[in-house]
Structure 1
Amino acid sequence: MKATLYYRGSLTSCNYACPYCPFSKNVDSRATLNKDRAQLERFAVWVREQGALGHRLSIFFNPYGEALIHSWYRSTMIELSHMEHVEKVAVQTNLSTKLDWTQELNKQTAAMWATYHPGETKEQAFISQAMKLYELGIQYSVGTVGLRQAFPAIRSLRSQLPKDVYLWINAYKDRPHYYSNDEVAELTAIDPYFHWNLQDYSSQGRACRAGEDVFYVQGDGRVKHCYQDRRVIGHLYRDGLEGLSTKRPCRMEKCGCYIGYIHMEEQPFREMYGNGLLERVPHAQVTSGSYV
Structure 2
Amino acid sequence: MKATVYYRGSLSSCNYDCPYCPFSKNKDSAETLAKDRAQIREFVDWVRRQKDEGHRLSLFFNPYGEGLIHRWYREAMIELSHMEHVDKVAIQTNLSARLDWVEQLEARKAAFWVTYHPGQTGETAFLKQCMTLYRQGLSFSVGSVGVKSAFGALSSLRRSLPDDVYMWVNAFKDKKNYYTEADFVFLRGIDPHFDRNAEDYASMDRDCNTGYDVFYVQGPGLVKRCYKDRSVIGHLYRDGLTGLSAKRACRMKCCDCYIGYIHMPELQLDTVYGGGLLERIAVNGSAG
SS in 2 for 1:168: strand
Quick check: 1:82–1:106 contact (8 Å CA) kept in 2?
yes
CA–CA distance in 2 between the matches of 1:171 and 1:227?
A: 19
Identify unmatched segments of 5+ residues in structure 1. Answer: none
CA-CA distance at 1:291 after TM superposition: 2.4
Matched with 2:52 is: 52
Quick check: 1:11–1:28 contact (8 Å CA) kept in 2?
yes
What amino acid is the match of 1:285?
N
Matched with 1:102 is: 102
Quick check: 1:69–1:97 contact (8 Å CA) kept in 2?
yes
Aligned length: 288
Q: Tell me the TM-score normalized by structure 1.
A: 0.98
CA-CA distance at 1:88 after TM superposition: 0.5
Matched with 1:36 is: 36
Taking every aligned residue pair, what percent have the same amino acid on both sides?
62
CA–CA distance in 1 between the matches of 2:190 and 2:169?
A: 9
CA-CA distance at 1:271 after TM superposition: 1.9
What amino acid is the match of 2:284?
Q
CA–CA distance in 1 between the matches of 2:58 and 2:21?
A: 26
Matched with 1:187 is: 187
CA-CA distance at 1:227 after TM superposition: 1.4
CA–CA distance in 2 between the matches of 1:232 and 1:42?
A: 19
Q: What do the CA deviations read for 1:181-218 (whole angstroms, capped 9, x no partner)?
A: 00101101111000000000000000000000000001
Quick check: 2:272–2:284 contact (8 Å CA) kept in 1?
no
Matched with 1:136 is: 136
Quick check: 2:17–2:120 contact (8 Å CA) kept in 1?
yes
CA–CA distance in 1 between the matches of 2:54 and 2:268?
A: 28
Corresponding position: 1:200 with 2:196: no
Identify unmatched segments of 5+ residues in structure 2. Answer: none
Alpha-carbon RMSD: 0.8
Q: What do the CA deviations read for 1:202-252 (whole angstroms, capped 9, x no partner)?
A: 000000000000000010000011011110000000000000000000000
Quick check: 2:211–2:244 contact (8 Å CA) kept in 1?
yes
Matched with 2:62 is: 62
Matched with 2:287 is: 291
Corresponding position: 1:221 with 2:221: yes
SS in 1 for 2:91: strand
- Runs (4+) off by over 3 Å: none
CA-CA distance at 1:101 after TM superposition: 0.2
Matched with 2:151 is: 151
Q: Mean Cα displacement is larger for which, 272-281 or 11-20?
A: 272-281
CA–CA distance in 1 between the matches of 2:153 and 2:75?
A: 32
SS in 2 for 1:230: strand
